Amino acid sequence: MRNQYDFLPNENKREATKLLPWVMAIMVYLSALAGTGSLILHSGFDDWASSLQGRVTVQLTGENREEMSDQSSRIQETLRATPGVDSVRPLTEDEIRLLLEPWLGADNITDDLPIPIMIDVETSDNIYVNLDALESKIRQISDNVYLDDHARWLDDFLRLAYAVESTGLGILILILLASVCIIIFGTKSSMSEDKGTIEIMHLMGAHDLLIAKAYQNRFMKYGLRGGIIGLILSFITVYGLLILVQNLSGGFVETPTLPYLKMSLLLLFPLIFAALTMITARITVMRELARMV
């Protein structure tokens, strides 16, 4: 008969697995932090990428400011007349100085510095704008005009985003693999501690499955308990860090926003770890018992 019977000693008296829930708590804690980090970065990358899509920057250089101003007006007229262009806005000198400050330093931007004219162009989502044709068109006004659709920079940026996300996923997989190894070790140690009990159970007619079920249920509880503790600690850590960033940034740095819907997936972590410990313990016990008569 394939029944269930918890014949194992009280868990408080077990040396081999006493610390297992805490190890699981640490594993879930690290997993949840890796997961949260990935989700925040993913969400941030998405926001930045979508803010850049549909934007084009036109840059006009030259030495004669009057000539450049005239060319800028004609370029703006051409841009506004182009179907699919929603808005055209030249950046003010102050805005351009702000953009240059991180590179040149505030005191080094002098009046004789040949600052380019920059025009921010917003294109429509619905109408396709042939940017190559548009660039050729405005090149007829000036040879010193460049059109930047950020595509190259965006490609690099997306590659970085992908690399960061893949690293996050890799860390999660490594943590899961390490957890499996720890569970196997814990199960074997536990079985070694219970060697006499298992022998007696066998000699009295216990099936392997009955013995395995006792272990899998015990280990599932360890995984679940540790998982809940680890998740709570990770949430406390994340919120603590967010509060710290908010206090430090003082408005200078944008505080990362938490993607709550996606983060609700983290609530599954304790269940995933409980299932992982349960399945790993069961397989380990069944394999160990198969070696006995």
Partner 1 sequence: MEFRNVSMSYERDYDVLKDISFNLPSGSMHFLTGPSGAGKTSLLKLMYLAHRPTRGEIMMFGRDVAKAEREDLPKLRRRIGVVFQDFRLLDHMTAVENVALPLRIAGGSGAHINEHVEELLVWVGLKDKMKSYPSTLSGGEKQRVAIARAVIRRPDILLADEPTGNVDPEMAERLMYLFVELNKLGTTTVIASHDNGLVEKFGSARLHLVGGKLLHLEGTGKNRN
Q: Could you say which of 50, 94, 204, 247 contacts partner 1 (CB under 8 A)? A: 204
Query: Does 141 interact with partner 1 (rule: CB under 8 A)?
Result: no
Say whether 27 sits in a helix, a strand or coil.
Answer: helix
Could you tell me where the beta strands, DSSP code E, fall in the chain? 55-60, 85-90, 117-123, 145-148
Q: Which residues contact 91 (CB under 8 A, 6 or more apart)?
A: 99, 117, 118, 119, 120
Q: How many whole angstroms separate alpha carbon 172 and alpha carbon 180?
A: 12
Is the CB of 196 or the CB of 250 nearer to partner 1?
196
Per-residue binder mask for partner 1 (CB under 8 A), 210-239, x = binder: x-----------------------------
- Return the CA Rg of the chain: 31
Q: How far is the CB of 245 from partner 1 (least distance, A)?
A: 51
Q: How far is the CB of 216 from partner 1 (least distance, A)?
A: 17
Q: How far is the CB of 293 from partner 1 (least distance, A)?
A: 6
Q: How many whole angstroms separate alpha carbon 258 and alpha carbon 234?
A: 14
Part of the chain binding partner 1 (CB under 8 A), chosen from 23-31, 110-118, 126-134, 195-203: 195-203
Alpha-carbon dihedral 192, 193, 195, 196, rounded to 10 degrees: 160
Could you tell me where the beta strands, DSSP code E, fall in 47-170? 55-60, 85-90, 117-123, 145-148
What's the one-letter identity of residue 85?
Answer: V
Query: Does 206 interact with partner 1 (rule: CB under 8 A)?
Result: yes
Is the CB of 56 or the CB of 211 nearer to partner 1?
211
Q: How far is the CB of 199 from partner 1 (least distance, A)?
A: 8
Sign, CA torsion 227/233/236/240: negative
Closest to 54 in 3D by CA, of 18, 86, 14, 9: 86
Query: Does 262 interact with partner 1 (rule: CB under 8 A)?
Result: no
Query: Does 207 interact with partner 1 (rule: CB under 8 A)?
Result: yes
Query: Does 286 interact with partner 1 (rule: CB under 8 A)?
Result: no
Part of the chain binding partner 1 (CB under 8 A), chosen from 20-28, 34-42, 196-204, 214-222: 196-204
Is the CB of 133 or the CB of 292 nearer to partner 1?
292
Q: Could you say which of 10, 51, 110, 264 contacts partner 1 (CB under 8 A)? A: 10
Part of the chain binding partner 1 (CB under 8 A), chosen from 21-29, 78-86, 103-111, 204-212: 204-212
Query: Does 287 interact with partner 1 (rule: CB under 8 A)?
Result: no
Q: Which residues contact 196 (CB under 8 A, 6 or more apart)?
A: none
Q: Could you say which of 144, 189, 197, 237 contacts partner 1 (CB under 8 A)? A: 197
Q: Among all chains, which residue has been given the structure tokens 């599932």?
A: 220
Q: Which residues contact 87 (CB under 8 A, 6 or more apart)?
A: 120, 121, 122
Q: Site for partner 1 (CB under 8 A): how many residues?
A: 21
Joined together, the tokens standing for residue 237 give: 């850590």
Part of the chain binding partner 1 (CB under 8 A), chosen from 2-10, 95-103, 178-186, 271-279: 2-10
Query: Does 5 interact with partner 1 (rule: CB under 8 A)?
Result: yes
- Give me the residues that bind partner 1 (CB under 8 A), please: 1, 3, 5, 7, 9-10, 13, 196-197, 199-207, 210, 290, 293
